[in-house]
Amino acid sequence: MLETITFSLLNGLLYGMLLFMLSSGLTLIFGMMGVLNFAHASFYMLGAYFAYTMGLYTGFWVALFLAPIAVGLIGAAVERFGLRQVHQYGHVPELLFTFGLAYVVEELVRLFWGNTPMNYRVPEALDFPLFSLFGTNYPAFRVFVLVVAVSMFVGLYLLLKRTRAGLIIQASLSRPDMVSALGHNVPQVFMWVFAFGTGLAALGGVVGGIQLVTEPGMAFMMGPIVFVVVVVGGLGSIQGALIASILIGVLQTFALSVDWSLANLGMVFGYAVPPESFFATIWYMDSTRIAPMLPYLLLVLMLIFRPRGLMGKRES
């Protein structure tokens, strides 16, 4: 039992941290610019592919820094020459633009790197089991992922709350006209926020591409769950994104680790649905089969009962 709990916590935490790396950039962009960036996971994919390709020449450690910067620059260009042009027509064209962009990026990746997964591996310096618990190894690379994610959170938090740049960003979020009147170039702020956000997604891709599989379908695999994190956490809230990521990671892992169904609950109250009744399928359904659905259930419940999310400031 202790074993199950420890591992569910560890694994859930790791998965949650991967989700956080992806969603922190999205929540920034979404919260600040109001742009629902459907192509966000595509930048995550680009991060993985860039890091793999650069890593062949420079090694993993250089690629860890270069790939997010390169992707961030692409993000800046996308904002400057794409999003900004459609911005004047409102949010729906922006949404459609990013939606199309996601498909374009995927096809480009297929074109340049092919359909088969990349042989993107854990760097040698981190390729060893760090410790062994109850007979299961815990790889050093996972701890590295945790470290990267935590430093990302701390860095982001300090940047937004303790620096002048963060002040302007936060002000542009709620009162763009006022910030503009004070002499700041708001469109430029937006451009750099977008670049920064996509760079963060790319950083997630650099480590996520190793932990999961680097292949052209990876963006579409991650896309939906990232939106759940952002909505549950609250738009624009970094802390909210962190809490929501870990919550979803741990929730999903626990549901998979324990055998549980509504029938167990019923037994406490001495009630059972007859096996041949219409609701028996749901009543006896194993939690492991429901687990992958849980984040979406959480999303629906959150939208009904607390539309602004866990830490969101606005109702919209």
Partner 1 sequence: MTKPRRTAGLFAGLATASAIALASLSTAQADDPIRIGFIDPLSGPFANVGDAGLKHFRFAADRINEEGGINGRQVEIVPMDNNQSASESAQLVQRAADRGIDFVAQGNGSDVAGAIIETVNRNNRRNPDNKLLYLNYAAVDPSLTNERCSYWHFRFDADTTIKLEALSNYMMERDDIEKVYLINQDYSHGHEIERRFQDLAAEKMPNVEIVGTQLHPIGQVRDFSPYVSRIRQSGADSVVTGNWGNDLSLLAREAEDAGLDVNFYTYYAGGLGVPAAIGRAGVDRVAQITEWHANVNVDEGHDEYREWVDAFKERYPDIDWYFHRVYNLMYMLKAAVEEAGSTDAEGVAAALSGMEFESHTGTITMRADDHQMLQPMYISIMDDEVEYDSENSGVGFRTLSRIEVEDATSATTCEMDRP
The site for partner 1 (CB under 8 A) is made up of 3-4, 7-8, 11, 14-15, 110, 114-119, 121, 129, 132, 135-137, 139, 142, 212-213, 215, 217, 220-222, 225, 249, 252-253, 256-257, 288-289, 291-292
What minimum distance in Å lies between the beta carbon of 212 and partner 1? 6
Nearest to 84 by CA among 98, 70, 104, 71: 98
The answer to whether the CB of 237 falls within 8 A of the CB of 55 is: no
Radius of gyration of the chain (CA): 21
76 to each of 72, 93, 221, how far by Cα in Å? 6, 18, 24
Q: Where are the alpha helices (DSSP H) in 136-237?
A: 140-162, 164-174, 176-181, 186-211, 218-233
Angle between helices 91-113 and 218-233 (to 10 degrees): 150
Q: Which is nearer to partner 1, 259 or 276 (CB)?
A: 259
Q: Which is nearer to partner 1, 175 or 289 (CB)?
A: 289
User: Judged by CB, which is closer to partner 1: 136, or 174?
Assistant: 136
Closest approach, Cβ 50 to partner 1, in A, equals: 19
Q: In the structure encoding, which two tokens stand for residue 258, read together? A: 């324990």
Closer CB to partner 1, 219 or 230, in the complex: 219
Q: How far apart are CA 175 and CA 179, in angstroms?
A: 6
d(CA 296, CA 175): 32
Residue with smaller CB distance to partner 1, 120 or 194? 120
**Shortest distance, position 121 Cβ to partner 1, whole Å:** 7
Shortest reach from residue 149's CB to partner 1, in Å: 15
Work out how close the CB of 60 gets to partner 1 at its nearest, in angstroms, rounded to a whole number: 16
DSSP label of 118: P
Q: What element of type H or E holds 63? A: helix 60-78
At closest approach, how far in Å is the CB of 178 from partner 1? Answer: 42
Q: Which is nearer to partner 1, 179 or 228 (CB)?
A: 228
